[in-house]
């Protein structure tokens, strides 16, 4: 059993311990210790019931820790009687843990970080990198969040909006990062849709499916990023596109528009177009206008500038870009693209190089560096 398969067991094992009486923070700590033990002993041969093994070891780790704290007599009374031995129930507590991590007492940032750590399986270092903060800072944030929800029941409802943000971040981490969590995020989004019936949850699921449909074309055989305009659309998964569009249409018919539905509508327009030139950019701009009314996010303004540049020309796109905060991620890359389309190669080359210096990943940095070199090549006599 590899690390990825082990991570998939974590939510279920934490859920079992919490239902037996452990508080969330102690359960998460005990499961991490059990995972370390598994990595040390399983290479010689994993047990027949890996989940049951982890539950047993983690539960005893929890009991040992609880009994060693004489000041916590109340907890000792809860855990002194061990549960009966036997098979571990096949209960999937992953979704419930998402709601627990989205507890109303937590800020959205803390809820996302805690969920990515405890349920998503990401390391503290990976989460810190996503937030652009030091690892020690993120470790403190996660520890504070765990302490805040200590003692909360597993079935205590959380905030659906935070759960959806968590799922979206997990999907994006899996879609573009080193750990593939995209499939897990889609699976959980399906559960949220089935259990809540909320149109925004359906909008998020549709958005994930439409993005996931393009996954195979996002990188070339050499692993380099392939921008949307250059992707081989024949490699897009038409089955996922069809499913995503159907789910989106059902959500929009409820007439309760939210940001994920609007984003999914933009993704559907991209998926429906045979090429970049044949994309309905005017309608995409209209959807970005809807998104701005819903969120007024700087990232939405940035993406809208690209769409305006396609619909009305690069000069109009640059005018729209002038209204965006230059500190927004990918600002320089968008400016480079629009300057190049406007025939301003020197400014484009400078902006591509600037964008490469602040790129968030090695693949993105490599792509932008090559774009800068390509434009500079045209400037040579």
Predicted confidence (pLDDT) per residue in 259-270, tens digit: 999 999 999 999
Structural domain includes residue 76: yes
> Residue 80's pLDDT is what?
45
**Whether the predicted pLDDT of 335 surpasses 90:** yes
Structural domain includes residue 176: no
Q: What is the DSSP string of 71-116?
A: T-HHHHHHHSSPPPPSPPP----HHHHHHHHT-TTS-HHHHHHHHH
Structural domain includes residue 318: no
In Å, what is the CA distance from 271 to each residue of 95, 173, 216, 246, 275? 29, 21, 14, 13, 9
**Whether the predicted pLDDT of 42 surpasses 60:** yes
**Residues with Cβ within 8 Å of residue 9, at least 6 apart in sequence:** 50, 51, 54
Q: What is the mean pLDDT of residues 138-162?
A: 79
> Residue 368's pLDDT is what?
96
> Residue 76's pLDDT is what?
45
> Residue 75's pLDDT is what?
45
pTM of this structure: 0.76
Which is more confidently placed, 186 or 203? 203
Structural domain includes residue 39: yes
Token digits for 1?
Answer: 């059993």
* 334 confidence band (pLDDT: 50, 70, 90): very high
**Whether the predicted pLDDT of 195 surpasses 70:** yes
Structural domain includes residue 361: no
Q: What is the mean pLDDT of residues 163-167?
A: 87
Structural domain includes residue 73: yes
Structural domain includes residue 26: yes
* 1 confidence band (pLDDT: 50, 70, 90): low
Q: Are 314 and 341 in contact (CB under 8 A)?
A: yes
- Residue 21 in 3-state DSSP? coil
Which is more confidently placed, 44 or 192? 192
Which is more confidently placed, 247 or 125? 247
* CA dist., res. 338 & res. 365, Å (int): 18
Percent of the chain with pLDDT over 90: 50
**Whether the predicted pLDDT of 115 surpasses 90:** no
Structural domain includes residue 171: no
The tens digit of pLDDT for each residue in 55-95 reads: 999 999 999 888 876 444 554 444 444 454 445 445 556 77
The tens digit of pLDDT for each residue in 216-237 reads: 999 898 889 999 999 999 999 9
Element (H, E) at 352: helix 345-357
Q: Among positive and negative, which fits the CA dihedral 159, 160, 165, 169?
A: positive
> Residue 85's pLDDT is what?
46
Q: What is the mean pLDDT of the chain?
A: 86
**Whether the predicted pLDDT of 363 surpasses 70:** yes
The tens digit of pLDDT for each residue in 97-112 reads: 878 888 878 887 888 8
Which is more confidently placed, 30 or 153? 30
Q: What is the mean pLDDT of residues 140-157?
A: 78
191-198 LR contacts (CB < 8 Å, sep 24+): 191/95, 192/95, 192/160, 192/163, 192/164, 192/167, 193/247, 195/95, 196/160, 198/160
- Looking at the structure of the chain, the number of domains it has is 1
What is the domain extent for residue 56?
1-85
> Residue 3's pLDDT is what?
67
* CA dist., res. 129 & res. 131, Å (int): 5
């Amino acid at each position: 059993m590899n690390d990825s398969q082990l991570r998939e067991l974590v939510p279920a094992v934490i859920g079992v311990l919490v239902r037996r009486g452990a508080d969330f923070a102690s359960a998460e700590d005990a499961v991490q210790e059990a995972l370390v033990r598994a990595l040390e002993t399983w290479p010689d041969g994993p047990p027949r019931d890996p989940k049951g093994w982890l539950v047993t070891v983690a539960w005893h780790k929890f009991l040992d820790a609880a009994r060693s704290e004489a000041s916590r007599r109340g907890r000792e009374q809860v855990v002194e009687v061990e549960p009966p031995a036997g098979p571990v129930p096949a209960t999937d507590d992953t979704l419930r843990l998402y709601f627990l991590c989205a507890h109303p007492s937590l800020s959205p940032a803390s809820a996302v970080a805690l969920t990515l750590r405890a349920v998503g399986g990401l390391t503290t270092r990976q989460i810190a990198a996503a937030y652009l903060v030091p690892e020690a800072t993120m470790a403190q944030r996660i520890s504070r969040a765990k302490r805040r929800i200590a003692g909360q029941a597993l079935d205590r409802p959380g905030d659906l909006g935070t759960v959806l943000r968590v799922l979206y971040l997990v999907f994006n981490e899996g879609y573009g990062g080193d750990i593939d969590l995209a499939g897990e995020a889609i699976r959980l989004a399906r559960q949220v849709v089935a259990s809540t019936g909320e149109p925004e949850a359906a909008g998020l699921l549709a958005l994930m499916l439409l993005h996931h449909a393009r996954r195979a074309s996002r990188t070339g055989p050499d692993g380099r990023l392939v921008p949307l305009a250059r992707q081989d659309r024949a490699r897009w998964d038409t089955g996922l596109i069809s499913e995503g569009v159907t789910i989106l249409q059902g959500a929009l018919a409820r007439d309760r528009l939210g940001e994920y539905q609007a984003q999914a509508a933009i993704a559907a327009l991209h998926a429906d177009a045979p090429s970049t030139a044949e994309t309905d950019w005017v309608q995409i701009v209209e959807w970005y206008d809807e998104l701005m009314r819903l969120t007024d996010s700087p990232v939405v303004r940035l993406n809208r500038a690209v769409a305006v540049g396609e619909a009305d020309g690069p000069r109009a796109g640059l005018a729209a870009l002038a209204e965006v905060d230059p500190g927004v991620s990918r600002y320089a890359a968008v400016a480079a693209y629009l300057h190049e389309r406007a025939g301003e190669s020197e400014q484009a080359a400078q902006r591509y190089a600037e964008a490469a210096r602040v790129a968030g990943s090695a693949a993105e940095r490599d792509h932008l560096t090559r774009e800068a070199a390509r434009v500079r090549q045209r400037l040579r006599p």
